[in-house]
Amino acid sequence: MEKQELGKTGYALNDPTAPIGVFDSGVGGLTVAREIMRQIPNERLIYFGDTARVPYGNKSKETVTKFSKQIVRFLKTQRVKAIVIACNTASAYALDEIEKELDIPIIGVVKPGARVAAEVTKNKKVGVIATAGTIQSRIYTDYIQGIQKDIQVIGKACPLFVPLVEEGLLEDPVTDEIATRYLNELKDIDIDTLILGCTHYPLIRSTLGRIMGESVTLVNPAYETARELKELLAGEGLLNPSTKRLGTNQYQFFVSDGADKFKTFANSILKYGILSAQIIHIEEY
């Protein structure tokens, strides 16, 4: 029994057929879930979006950590085999503290994005656009400079991008104008790599790419996170070996508020139709 529970990975739950837990402050993490679905299509996912308390980006470390711990406790009740923090702010503020206490593997979106940026930059000038919280935490700077000390990392908080994306202004003169203001100083510094450090930003990727120009590589942490997750699960013997169809329950969605609104947004991002999202009283976990 003990062997089965602690298994060869050293993790308490060592069941490759169990789902992966993915969480975000709201809908942004769906861009990460979408990448996981694409890169490891044989996995089951439990997604939680904290729509009652969204956004996290301008809230304190203490509050974001408290919220994240409640969500991790909820995901554990769903017997997930691993957890992905699909939110940059929560990854920046809460990952290290949660990791210490957790008995299953957990990854955030920050480290995978930072690693790729450190690899691809040639002129050693990397820009990071993100929420105020992520920028204030200096986590991208610390992590990139931990890999290579002489890389200059320039962070820029872009608080209006999330509301603009959520309003659907993905291709719009107003989004262009705001993006131009935010990105100007990064252009002036002549960065060659730009990390999209908030899960909403890939949805305005074409606007950001046009303003920065072709010489700047855009790094989407969602893609890198899904790749690292796959490697991590493979390394631990936790990839789902089953090849039988997983059925309609393969992907399950939970939110803390506004299930219908979430469903509508999710269906605009994901390829297949979400049938339902279930409301959870997350503050009780």
Report if residue 180 touches its own copies, rule: CB under 8 A: no
Q: For residue 164, state whether it binds its own copies (rule: CB under 8 A).
A: yes
- Given 62, 103, 185, 190, the residue binding its own copies (CB under 8 A): 62
Report the nearest approach of its own copies to the CB of residue 256 (Å): 8
For the beta carbon of residue 119, count every other beta carbon within 10 angstroms.
11
Site string for its own copies, 121-160 (x = CB under 8 A): --------------------------------------xx
Query: How would DSSP label each residue in 169-221?
Result: -SS-HHHHHHHHHHHHHHHHTT-SEEEE-STTGGGGHHHHHHHH-TTSEEE-H
Alpha-carbon distance values, 3 to 6, 11, 13, 16 (Å)? 5, 10, 11, 15
Catalytic residue, from 20, 87, 165, 233: name it. 87
Distance in Å, CB of 150 to its own copies, minimum: 34
List of residues 6+ apart from 90 with CB closer than 8 A: 23, 24, 25, 56, 64, 67, 68, 108
Helix (H, G, I), strand (E, B) or coil at 49: strand
Q: Does residue 71 interact with its own copies by CB under 8 A?
A: no
d(CA 212, CA 17): 43
Of the candidate spans 12-20, 29-37, 83-91, 169-177, the one that interacts with its own copies by CB under 8 A turns out to be 169-177
Q: Is 158 a catalytic residue?
A: no
Residue from the set 19, 28, 47, 59 that interacts with its own copies by CB under 8 A: 59
- Which distant-in-sequence residues (6+ apart) come within 8 Å of 177 by Cβ? none
First-to-last alpha carbon distance for the chain, in angstroms, is 28
3-state secondary structure of 128: strand
Nearer to its own copies, 16 or 159 (CB): 159
6, 7, 76, 166: residue in contact with its own copies (rule CB under 8 A): 166
Catalytic residue among 198, 204, 216, 226: 198
**Distant-in-sequence, close-in-space partners of 116: CB < 8 Å, separation ≥ 6:** 219, 224
Supply the minimum distance, in Å, between the C-beta of residue 106 and its own copies: 23
CB of 235 to its own copies, least distance (A): 37
Which chain residues interact with its own copies by CB under 8 A?
51-53, 58-60, 62-63, 159-160, 163-164, 166-167, 173-174, 177-178, 256-258, 261, 283
Catalytic residues: 87, 198
